[in-house]
Amino acid sequence: MELRRLTDRVFYTMFSKESDRPVLGYINGQTRSLMVDSGNSKFHAALFNEALRKEGLRKPEIVAITHWHWDHTFGMHAVEGITIAHEKTNDKLAEQAKWEWTDIEMKKRLAAGVEIEFADTCIRNEYPSLSEIQVVTSDISFSGTMEIDLGGITVELHHVTSPHSDDSVCIFVPQERVLFIGDAVGVDYYNDCHLDKDKLRSLLTAIEGFDFDMCVVGHAEPVSKLKTVAVMNSLLER
């Protein structure tokens, strides 16, 4: 795994399509560091830590989650830092933590429409042994907004309206003019890939309100604010 530098104090890793590993972020403060999303497994989280070690960076003391989907949260049990998620995220994770992760039970959830085929396939690619799946809630939950001081740099967590997931959180680093949005711009895969344009308009208003240069998204290369807004407007016009 390669750790890429976006600014002097903000880094990210690339996504992987095979098992739907998302982009992970790293914000390096003077006293503490923060990881954006936990990865989709202990293997993903371990590769992230190894990439940090190669760059001479410490493991993150804090891990902030953008939304509940498995690829962003199933590594939470394996990270060493304090984990933070929105209260709606924890509600979903608490529900999943009660699930049995066996072939039979996964097929039942797929047949019942509780899970989607894409996630089921990618989970099986990431976990040859399904018994290794561990779902946990975060150590700290919040609602609305939350600000974290990392020493010389702050990180703001903002719960936003999103067509992708009701618990979506944008993570803003004002000093570096960077915004992490996870998959917030995406369709709702758990509702027949529906794109709620009212929610998208609300998200666009929120994103336009952040003073940033670069946007880090969940499954693509970082893009400029101008490009982010243009993509969202294009989706609204369809």
pLDDT tens per residue, range 216-232 = 999 999 999 999 999 99
Sign of CA dihedral 184, 232, 214, 144: negative
Provide, rounded to the nearest whole percent, the portion of the chain with pLDDT above 70: 100
Strand partners, 36: 25, 64
Q: Is residue 83 within 8 Å of residue 138, measured between CB atoms? A: yes
Per-residue tokens: 116: 């989607």
Predicted confidence at residue 18, as pLDDT, reads: 85
The C-alpha atoms of residue 234 and residue 228 are separated, in whole angstroms, by: 10
- Round the average pLDDT of the chain to a whole number and report it: 97
Q: What is the pTM of this model?
A: 0.96
Return the CATH number of the domain spanning residue range 3-237. 3.60.15.10
pLDDT in tens, 63-117: 999 999 999 999 999 999 999 999 999 999 999 999 999 999 999 999 999 999 9
pLDDT in tens, 9-36: 999 999 988 899 999 999 999 999 999 9
pLDDT in tens, 155-193: 999 999 999 999 999 999 999 999 999 999 999 999 999
